[in-house]
Amino acid sequence: MINYILRRLLYVLPVLLGVNILTFVLFFVVNSPDDMARMQLGDKHVSQAAVNNWKQQRGYDLPLIWNQQETGIQAIKKTIFFEKSVGLFVFDLGLSDNGRDIVADISQRMWPSLAIAIPSLIFGVLANITFALLLIFYRGSYLEFGGLFVCITLMSISGLFYIIAGQFLVGKLLALTPISGYAPGMEAFKFIILPVVIGIISGLGSGARWYRTLFLEEAAKDYVRTAKAKGLSELQVLFKHVLKNAMVPILTGIVVILPLLFMGSLITESFFGIPGLGSYTIDAISSQDFAIVRSMVFLGSFLYIIGLLLTDISYTLVDPRVRLN
Amino acid sequence: MFSLLWTDYLVFALVIGVSLLIWRASKRQHLVRPWKTVSDSTVGVVSLTVLLTFVFIGVLDSTRIKYKPNLSNGERGARTETLSVLDIVLTPIRTQIETTYSQPFAHTGYAKELLIDEQGATQWVYPRLKYAGAHLVSAESDKQKDIVTKAIAGIFLGFMCWLALLVLVLFFSKARSYKARSKAQKNIAYTLLIIFSLAGMVASLGPYYHVLGTDKVGEDVLYQAIKSIRTGLVIGTLTTLVMLPIAIALGLMAGFFRGWVDDVIQYLYTTLSSIPGVLLIAAAILMAQVYMANNPDLFTTVDDRGDMRLLLLCMILGLTSWTGLCRLLRAETLKIREMDYVMAARALGVGRMQILKRHVLPNVMHLVMITVVLDFSGLVLAEAVLSYINIGVDPSTYSWGNMINTSRLEMAREPIVWWPLVAAFIFMFALVLAANLFADVVRDAFDPRENN
């Protein structure tokens, strides 16, 4: 087990290196640092001195991957690729393009993100499972047909609509919650309740359908027929057998997204003015802050790979038949 | 003179390609059978008809014509204009541009203005619109009656067109009586009746009113929503076109050849899928923006710029979304390569490429089919979200995302400007709902597990 985890962790390195090379190509090869400097400084007729100054302040004044002026190992080390990548691997994300410490920003902004993401996930999964169980329980009736139609309708509505309609209805017309904003501590509750509820509703359609297929697959198995033949009631079969066995795919499906909760939700956070990592990323995209976007790409892929690893481990924990080797 | 953009060529290539595929598939029994299931389902037929109507509008909008417009004094204008066939069809709606916001079916402006009447007295009133309701003498009393009359006339017009089409089809088909029609054909006919009625209503009301109001610069919202159909369709289909070859080739190779090929491909898709999709798209679009800003002479017209960015968006979305299908195809190929018929083919000395082509590919095609249909609606919805964070289509391109994005800020106004938002959401909902319903029917028909 330990051996397996260690080997998987080693596999993380080449993947992160690949991510790094890809972002490097995107950010520095497609457009030279000079182009980015001009874009950032705003004007097409910026003097070369200003461009050089901008590059020097941010450490972009080195050659891309091979420094001809240095010899030996220094030829590789004194380059943008090496200097920017090594920092990422030890989570020293450096300064953003407007001079703020990215690590400090992230550690401060991850809490509001989590405050929204964790309740959304927990209550969302509960709502989805409940809805899916109801659909299974009323299988073959008009209720199921109606429920499935509701699911497909919910799926077909744009996520933006839920947010805009929710803000308008609850925040503006009924004035139950603030339309947007955030406050730390217990005050946060009234700010996060609306985004959480909207998050649950917008995910209900696809989520409930997904869980329904899981349950249906389980309900078609032989042991369910045996249980029914023994005379167990529909409810008992549903909760004691189907739900329990379907928990394996449900749990592993949740584990894979757990680490990514840190990243926050881009759209929800920026609509509700929540100072989390999602809105941090959006702001960075719209202000074209390459350093932040690059750091977030790296962080996101790291968390994703951790999620995959956790999934594998959780398989062995919930399903004794699976052995890692 | 035709003057097509890059995406237009691709749209036509796609339409021709799909038609060829359908023509080829229609000769093979085993490929026709699942489609029989689709055509037996009312939901399937109705949603397909709606989807095809959207496609028809999209294709009309992709047929661009360059011409010199006739001036009012009968001379040819000096400036050439590029218009799509759809633009020409929608001419009165397209050209009747008011000064600013106006509500659906309004004959007056959105906000009060200071006007000077004939006596020279100033009045603080809602100004009459330039085009909408201009034919009414006393607007207050006549408007409602006029709208109802025009709507009924429109429905009647739609009905007559539908009847004409029906007679034409019956005349040219073999069975000459209505009773002999199959269920699918009746479903198509009834759906078309509704679509024709709606179109008739728009045709009859459009020149006289702004059915869905006007936006900030006075452009008709209905026109914008209809123009956005093409953008949604292009993103939903061209993205899959980019994704399919990569996903199929890599997925089959990884599953069939195993060994180092499998390792490399697995590494590739783990790496790509580990990057959060939105961030990868954002990074690529940011870079494209820098590139376009530095090379302004490559993209001369606004249309060119918008088109390039649309194409780029499709390519990036395609490059970020092939991993799911690739993983699926790899797993399926792993199963198929152990099947007896593959072993038999190998024992008979059939080459590996031949086996892939003859035995593996046809047996994974149902997965490809299902994925394509399922992905479509997700991509249409994704466009709106991406445009909202400014990494979607160009702001000059008509799209539902852009409509939502620009009118979102007007929610705070009093009285609130709700119609551009509602129009964009309704059109998007209609397309996505039809696609989702159709996808469901297709999945049930093609999934071999469902047939047991």
> Superfamily for B6-64+220-451?
MetI-like (1.10.3720.10)
- Tell me the average pLDDT across A77-103: 74
Report the candidate in B164, B8, B169 with the shortest Cα–Cα distance to residue B86.
Answer: B8
Query: How many Å apart are CA A184 and CA A252, to the nearest integer?
Result: 32
What's the pLDDT at B427?
Answer: 92
pLDDT digits (tens, 9 = 90+) for A50-65: 778 777 777 777 777 6
Domain map (residue ranges) of chain B: 6-64+220-451
Summarize pLDDT for B397-416 with one digit per residue, the tens: 889 988 888 887 777 777 77
* Whether A267 and B385 lie within 8 Å, measured CB to CB: yes
Q: B351-409, pLDDT tens digit by residue?
A: 888 888 888 888 888 888 888 888 888 888 888 888 877 788 888 888 998 888 888 77
Burial B194-221 (b: 16+ CB within 10 A, else e): ebbbebbbbbbbbebbbbbbbbeebbbb
For a pLDDT cut of 90, what percent of chain A falls above it?
9
For residue A12, what is the DSSP state? H
Would you call A270 an interface residue with chain B, using a CB distance cutoff of 8 Å?
Answer: yes
> Are B283 and A293 an interchain contact pair (Cβ–Cβ within 8 Å)?
yes
Contact flag B283-A39 (C-beta cutoff 8 Å): no
pLDDT reading at A321 higher than 80? no
Mutation choice for B interface testing from A16, A39, A156, A218 by most B CBs within 10 A: A156
State what percent of residues in chain A have pLDDT above 70: 92
Task: Report CA dihedral (B17, B18, B24, B28) to the nearest 10 degrees.
Answer: 150
Q: How far is CA A209 from CA A205, A214, B392, in A?
A: 6, 9, 29
Q: Which two tokens stand for residue B319?
A: 């490059």
Q: Which among A267, A286, A305 has CB closest to B390? A: A286
Q: What is the pLDDT of residue A293?
A: 80
Q: For residue A309, name the pLDDT band (cuts at 50, 70, 90).
A: confident
Residue A296 near chain B (CB below 8 Å): yes
- H-type alpha helices, chain A: 2-24, 33-41, 48-57, 74-77, 80-89, 102-137, 142-156, 159-166, 188-219, 222-229, 234-236, 244-257, 266-271, 277-286, 290-318
Put simply, whether the predicted model's pTM sits higher than 0.90 gets the answer no
- Please, which residues 86-105 of chain B have a Cβ atom closer than 8 Å to chain A? none
B73-120 residue pLDDT tens:
555 556 677 788 888 888 877 777 777 778 787 777 777 777 777 777
Q: Across the interface, do B294 and A297 touch by the CB < 8 Å criterion?
A: no
Q: Map residue B313 onto helix, strand or coil.
A: helix
Give residue-wise pLDDT tens across range A222-247: 988 999 899 988 888 888 888 888 88
Question: Would you tell me how many other CB atoms lie within 10 Å of the CB of residue B418?
Answer: 17
Q: Does A157 touch chain B (CB under 8 A)?
A: yes
pLDDT tens, residue by residue, A167-191: 888 877 787 778 777 877 777 788 8
What b-and-e string marks burial along A38-71, b requiring 16 or more CB atoms within 10 Å of the CB?
Answer: bbbeeeeebeeeebeebbeebebebeeeebeeee
The per-residue pLDDT for B452 is 40
The average confidence (pLDDT) of chain A is: 82
Residue B271's closest chain A neighbor by CA? Answer: A15
Q: How many residues does chain A have?
A: 325
Using the beta-carbon criterion (under 8 Å), do A26 and B287 form an inter-chain contact? yes
Choose among A44, A152, A297: nearest Cβ to B437: A152
Where are the alpha helices (H) located in B206-258, listed in sequence order? Answer: 221-257
Residues of A in Cβ contact (< 8 Å) with B421: 164
ipTM surpassing 0.85, yes or no? no
Instruction: List all residues of chain B from 126 to 145 with a beta carbon under 8 Å from chain A.
Output: none
Q: What is the pLDDT along chain B (452 residues), one digit of tens a residue?
A: 777 788 888 888 889 988 998 888 888 887 788 888 888 888 888 999 999 999 999 998 888 887 766 655 555 556 677 788 888 888 877 777 777 778 787 777 777 777 777 777 777 777 777 777 777 777 677 778 888 888 888 889 889 998 898 888 877 776 555 555 677 888 888 888 899 888 888 888 878 888 888 888 878 888 889 989 999 999 999 998 889 999 999 999 998 888 889 889 988 888 888 887 777 887 788 777 777 777 777 777 777 788 888 888 898 888 888 888 998 899 889 888 888 988 899 899 888 888 888 888 888 888 888 888 888 888 888 888 888 777 888 888 889 988 888 887 777 777 778 888 889 999 999 999 999 999 888 888 887 665 44
Residue B109, H or E segment: none
- Measured between CA atoms, the residue of chain A closest to residue B437 is A152
